[in-house]
Amino acid sequence: MKTNAKVIYASELILAVYLIWLKLNMGNVSNLLKNITALIVFSILMIILLAFFGIEKDKNYLKGSSARIVITGLMVFFLITYALGIILGFRRGFLYHDLFSFIKNIAFVLVITVEIEIIRYIVAKKCFQNEKLLVVFTVLSSIYNVFMEMNMGVLTTSEDKFIFLSTIIFPIMASEALCSFMTYKTGMLSSLIYKLVINLYIYILPIVPDLGDYIYSVANILLPFILYNTLNKMIIKYDKEKQQLKKINRVVFVTPLVVLFIILVILVSGIFNHKLIAVASNSMVPMYSRGDAVIYEKVNVESLEVGDILAFKKDDIIVTHRIVKIWKRGDQYFFTTKGDNNNGNDSYMPKEADVLGRVRLSFKYIGYPTVLINEFFGKE
């Protein structure tokens, strides 16, 4: 292994050890301590890499065009999101009681952002066609940003976990991947502009659009995707040798993933009349099994019949069992349910207020990620 690669791997190992420490002490570390330790670690890493390699002048001939595309994309992004804010509403940005607090918070974000982008630039320049070095740094920087965004609360419900994935993890992964792509292909300038604007605007602007979790998630994944596509087209124009590979990557792989994610957001959020949930047990075998996913339709309880598969809430858990009896007491409907694979009826009898809907479709295996996430976070 070349000496340069060893130095970069050693630096990434230091960052990985810091992230492990941060994870193990997450519940005991204040935001101030997280900020201070992060500043120290990234300063050390930057100094190490600068001492070994220095920093080359960014001579990439695409850096000016790339920066203009990023600036234009960010302007369009803010125009659209603030236009949506007129419809959906706004919320206050960060409020500061004095100039010192404002400068302190802005300075931390500014310094850390610049340090990370300098480190990314050095890694991208020194990877010697060994792109794994840059991939490892991208993964580690994504984990760092996720940890810095995490609250100390516990994610208890599937919806909480999905919101965390869609509004924190996915946008951060998309943003970090875009920055590594831009740095590797067009230099540091466009990546630095993008990260500074995205990281700082919420601290500077007095109001920001209140788009809600799902629209926010889609917007912050689409922005990196659109910038990637636009920059990729520009690179292909100037780099004929990679034209076929880029077209296949853009059309065949990336676009369907974005479309699929948007569809999943709509189904899991239940914005419309149907909602997608994961099955966590085998109580309805052979109809569907643990790890499958089902879609239930929101219906009027009067339309339910014996034999329908009912989706209902029991405490904080969603159960999907078959109706074996319906009766009415006063103005309230009650249901007796049973899992097809269970020996007897359920002891809990859902009432009208517990009913979520009627199960319409099931899909094999695609609910496993949600089930595994629930188990990872310790949900019983």
Q: Which of 141, 321, 354, 362 is catalytic?
A: 321
For residue 308, the model assigns a pLDDT of 94
8 A C-beta contact, residue 335 and residue 307: no
Residue 202, CA atoms < 13 Å, CB-side half-sphere:
10
Residue 336 DSSP SS3 = strand
| Average pLDDT of the chain, as a whole number | 83
| pLDDT(68) > 90 | yes
Residue 99 CA, distance from chain mean position: 33
The average pLDDT across 116-136 equals: 87
Q: How confident is the model at residue 183 (pLDDT cuts 50, 70, 90)?
A: very high
Task: Enumerate residues 6+ apart whose C-beta is below 8 A from 273.
Answer: 297, 298
Q: Which CATH number fits domain 274-376: 2.10.109.10, 1.20.1260.10, 1.20.120.80, 3.30.70.3270?
A: 2.10.109.10
Would the pTM count as exceeding 0.95?
no
| pLDDT(22) > 80 | yes
Written as six digits, the tokens of 293 are: 């996913």
CA–CA dist 295, 274 (Å, integer): 6
Task: Enumerate residues 6+ apart whose C-beta is below 8 A from 350.
Answer: 310, 312, 313, 314, 319, 334, 335, 337
Of residues 272, 175, 274, the one with CA closest to residue 226: 175
Residue 127 has phi, psi (to 5 degrees) of -80, -10
* Amino acid (1-letter code) at residue 181: F
The average pLDDT across 195-207 equals: 86
Whether 11 sits among the annotated catalytic residues: the reply is no
Q: Which of 166, 346, 354, 362 is catalytic?
A: 346
For residue 169, the model assigns a pLDDT of 86
Residue with tokens 């490892």: 136
CA–CA dist 83, 220 (Å, integer): 16
For residue 379, the model assigns a pLDDT of 44
DSSP 215-252: HHHHHHHHHHHHHHHHHHHHHHHH-GGGHHHHHHIIII
For residue 380, the model assigns a pLDDT of 39
| pLDDT(378) > 70 | no
The average pLDDT across 51-67 equals: 84
Q: Where are the domains of the chain?
A: 3-269, 274-376
| pLDDT(277) > 70 | yes
CA–CA dist 304, 311 (Å, integer): 11
The average pLDDT across 11-18 equals: 93
| pLDDT(4) > 80 | no
| pLDDT(152) > 50 | no
Whether 98 sits among the annotated catalytic residues: the reply is no
Q: Which of 283, 292, 354, 362 is catalytic?
A: 283
* Stronger pLDDT, 260 or 145, i.e. the higher one: 145
